[in-house]
Amino acid sequence: MLAAAYRCGVPATVHVGIGYDIIHEHPNCDGAALGAASYRDFLIFAHSVESLEGGVMLSFGSAVMAPEVYLKALSMAAVLLRRRTSRPIS
């Protein structure tokens, strides 16, 4: 899926929740690197949400975290739009 998104120029992001996966127990797991990559992906995702006009969001493997990430990105996009246009989101 990630390779296909890359080939098509479509953003594909991964949002890591520390402690969610078994790899976080490994002694060589770098929490700082995971956090930095996840934050970078969140900013990419938020930018994509900001430019949405219709469309579909696909969420795989998460019934809890993915909707929350979407809500945070949507809220961030609404705040940015309000700052730029001085008008509320309807």
**Mean pLDDT, the chain cut into blocks of 10 residues (90 residues total):** 92 83 87 91 89 78 84 89 74
Contact criterion met (CB below 8 Å) for 69 and 42? yes
* 38 Cβ contact partners less than 8 Å away, ≥ 6 residues apart: 14, 15, 16
d(CA 25, CA 27): 6
Let me know if residue 24 belongs to a domain.
Answer: yes
Let me know if residue 9 belongs to a domain.
Answer: yes
Report the pLDDT value the prediction gives residue 4, as an integer from 0 to 100.
95
Let me know if residue 90 belongs to a domain.
Answer: no
Number of structural domains in the chain? 1
Report the pLDDT value the prediction gives residue 36, as an integer from 0 to 100.
93
Question: What is the pTM (predicted TM-score) of this model?
Answer: 0.76
Let me know if residue 45 belongs to a domain.
Answer: yes
Let me know if residue 29 belongs to a domain.
Answer: yes
H/E segment holding residue 61: none
Residue numbers of the domain that contains 68: 2-85
